[in-house]
């Protein structure tokens, strides 16, 4: 198995040390990684990749393309309600309220954090707001799980993000 990754590390925004550890463990199982690389062409049993300007051909029986997620906000009537869409996501406040009275949005459609754990918490905050209760989402405390072997679980800021925020203060 081969993974072609556009970013300089695997597993998205997780801590770099955890990413490196996960990569080493996966390599022990025979998985090869091409980081800072992108697929240019899928051919007959091959994938042409580009890494730092150099092209190479990787053998492949099958190819799975995983190119991220984006909110789906078109095609189900939001435009008829006048709900504000920014950067292809429904604009919400800290309680999940949109600009239209009586309309809340939770989950991937608000573009804030596309994780199931986030959607569950956002939905609870919306329900609490509807019921007159005060609650909020702490986006710095959303758990993240990667179902690999070994599994990875994280919560809170990475060391890199904590340092970035400290320097902004």
**What tens-digit pLDDT sequence spans the chain (169 residues)?**
999 999 999 998 899 999 999 999 999 999 999 999 999 999 999 999 999 999 999 999 998 888 788 899 988 888 899 999 999 999 999 999 999 999 999 999 999 998 888 999 999 999 999 999 999 999 999 898 999 989 999 999 988 899 999 887 6
Position 169 scores a pLDDT of: 66
Position 68 scores a pLDDT of: 80
Residue 119 tokens, joined: 């959607």
Position 93 scores a pLDDT of: 96
Position 66 scores a pLDDT of: 85
Of 119, 109, 1, the closest CA to residue 59 belongs to 1
CATH number at 2-67: 3.50.50.60
Domains of the chain: which residue ranges?
A: 2-67, 84-137
Position 60 scores a pLDDT of: 94
Measure the CA–CA gap between 55 and 47, rounded to whole angstroms: 10
- CA distance to 6, 108, 122, 150, per residue, from 146 (Å): 18, 18, 21, 9
């Amino acid at each position: 198995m081969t993974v072609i990754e556009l970013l300089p590390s695997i597993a998205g925004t997780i801590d770099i040390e955890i990413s490196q550890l996960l990569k080493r463990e996966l390599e022990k199982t025979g998985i090869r990684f091409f980081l800072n690389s992108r697929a240019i062409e899928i051919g007959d049993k091959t994938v042409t990749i580009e890494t730092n300007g150099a092209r190479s051909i990787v053998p492949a029986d099958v190819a799975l393309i995983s190119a991220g997620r984006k909110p789906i906000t078109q095609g189900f009537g939001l435009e008829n309600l006048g709900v504000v869409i920014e950067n292809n996501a429904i604009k919400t406040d800290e309680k999940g309220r949109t600009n239209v009275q009586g309309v809340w949005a939770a989950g991937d459609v608000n573009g804030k954090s596309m994780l199931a754990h986030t959607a569950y918490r956002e939905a609870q905050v919306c329900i609490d707001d509807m019921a007159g209760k005060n609650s909020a989402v702490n986006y710095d405390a959303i758990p993240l799980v990667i179902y690999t072997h070994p599994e990875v679980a994280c919560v809170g800021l990475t060391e890199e993000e904590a340092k970035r925020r400290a320097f902004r203060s």
